[in-house]
Structure 1
Amino acid sequence: MLRILLGLPPRAELAEMQGAVEAMQHVLSQLQKRISEGHDPEHIWRKHEIWTKGLIESLDELEQSVFLAGHFADRVRNSYQDEMSQQENTDYHRHVYFYKDGFIRVFSILDKLGTLMNDLFELHTERAKAHFSFFTVLRQFQYLGVHLALMDKLNTLKEQYNEPLRHLRKWRNIEIHYMNMEMQDDLNQRDQTLDGKIKLEDIQQRQNDLELGYRMACDTLQAAFEYIEIMLRNKYQR
């Protein structure tokens, strides 16, 4: 959608999303089969169906933000904002907008997945922490000693992407709890320079962190939903 608004061709393929989307669609099929057979009087499967559809849409929105953040990052050539043309300055701020939207969406998707797993696996994480995150749910797996194979896969991915996630979390926390991340970066630069000339952050490095965060979200969703599909098949096979 966003590509079309900017006059760019639509996404040709799912790329990194492919495995995650297919895994979620397979689970949707399982849930819809249960619903159609009338085995959902309390609408529990319907709830999980809606949440799964929401995750597919959220992943699509994240991909668009990551793509456009990179698109505008590639158009920024100068290292100092004072030296930018008006168009380059506009492209820089567009990059920042989609970069921030992207890293917020990375953690939003993970937390939505955590909410679904907590409900589906009846982990009751809310008893330990009312407002829990995806990472709290991972610890709940270990605490309860359940679904340890899935826990191991998700923890492995968390460690694999630890560094970019740490960077994204830092800027997410600044953006949400303190001030705009670009203003914080300006403040850091002014503390380190005497001439008042502010050098931009390493845009390409931050874009790389965002792309890795997106891949982590894709890999995590794929691992979780492949496990969920197998669990549903084994539980309800006839």
Structure 2
Amino acid sequence: MLRFLFDEQQAVSNQLKPAYEVIDRFGQLIKAQLAEINDGEQEQLKKRRMYEISAKGLRAALDELEQSHYVAQKLHSTISAKTLQEMSSEERISYDRYVYFDKNGFIRVFSLLDKLGTFLNEMLHLQTERVKPHFSYFTVLRHMRHKQVHMVLTNPLNESKEKYKESVKRLRKRRNTEIHYMNSEMQDDYIRSQRLYGDEYELHNLPLENLQQQVMDLQEGLTMATEALQLVFAYGCQLVNKKQL
């Protein structure tokens, strides 16, 4: 969708293809179920339609996240200055655009995961809302571990979470700062000004935040989200085929 910004043809990332395939397969199985349900079975129809719509929404959310990361990564490669003061006017535009798409990306990581948590909670009848009314994907996963349910799915989801936990921790901190306090890049500036120079030093002279680390963290957030989607929808397909969903 956004590759046109670099005069590139629209393309599907190879990283995303397996996730797309299993989400689409799940959607097809649910459609087949819908065709077999009588109009009088309203509760069953409602559930299946929710599954179908949720699958489409999660597929779209993955695409949007990947696009944001792709643009941020491309823009990052055009930035060589070490401070804002060193930047040419063109490089400053690239940097501002990088900040926008990076920020869009790390917010979307948690938006996608929380949608997936809601889907998981509904599909597996976990009732996580009884433990915590406003829950996240990580709450759902913790609830699954605590209850020792669906361990064939719970274990690999937890392994994936642990594999990327340091990157996701940094992304979460930036997301929380952005939403609840101040622009995350501004907080980086503030912290560095206190640590390095004191209050009187001009922010334009501060070294930039670690853009390479940010790009790598966003890549790992995308990878974890992709792995989680593959695992969840593959498990969903198994449940449908066994007539357990």
Question: Does 2:217 match 1:209?
Answer: yes
- Please identify runs of 4+ aligned residues in structure 1 that moved more than 4 A: none
Query: How far apart, CA to CA, are the structure 1 residues paired with 2:8 and 2:83?
Result: 31
Q: State which drifts further: 220-229 or 34-43.
A: 34-43
Aligned partner (choices 129, 137, 157) of residue 134 of structure 1: 137
Q: Provide the residue aligned with 1:235 in structure 2.
A: 243
Query: How far apart, CA to CA, are the structure 1 residues paired with 2:131 and 2:192?
Result: 41
Question: Does 2:8 match 1:3?
Answer: no
Letter in 2 for 1:158: K
Report how far residue 10 of structure 1 moved.
Answer: 2.6
User: What TM-score, normalized to structure 1?
Assistant: 0.95
Query: How far apart, CA to CA, are the structure 2 residues paired with 1:141 and 1:101?
Result: 29
Report how far residue 7 of structure 1 moved.
Answer: 4.6
Question: Does 2:97 match 1:89?
Answer: no
Q: Which runs of 5+ in 2 are unaligned?
A: none
Q: Provide the residue aligned with 1:77 in structure 2.
A: 80
Q: Deviations over 1:133-168 (max 9, x none)?
A: 001111221233320111101000000111111111
Report how far residue 236 of structure 1 moved.
Answer: 6.0
Report how far residue 14 of structure 1 moved.
Answer: 2.9
Percent of matched pairs sharing the same residue: 42
Q: Provide the residue aligned with 1:41 in structure 2.
A: 42
What does residue range 11-26 of structure 1 map to in structure 2 within 5 Å?
11-26=10-25
Query: How far apart, CA to CA, are the structure 1 residues paired with 2:219 and 2:95?
Result: 18
Question: Does 2:63 match 1:60?
Answer: yes
Helix, strand or coil at the partner of 2:145: helix
What does residue range 72-221 of structure 1 map to in structure 2 within 5 Å?
72-194=75-197, 195-196=201-202, 197-221=205-229
Q: Deviations over 1:33-90 (max 9, x none)?
A: 0011125622110011001100001111111100000111111110111110111011
Helix, strand or coil at the partner of 2:167: helix
C-alpha distance 135-209 of structure 1, shift in aligned 2 (>3 A): same
User: What TM-score, normalized to structure 2?
Assistant: 0.92
Letter in 2 for 1:2: L
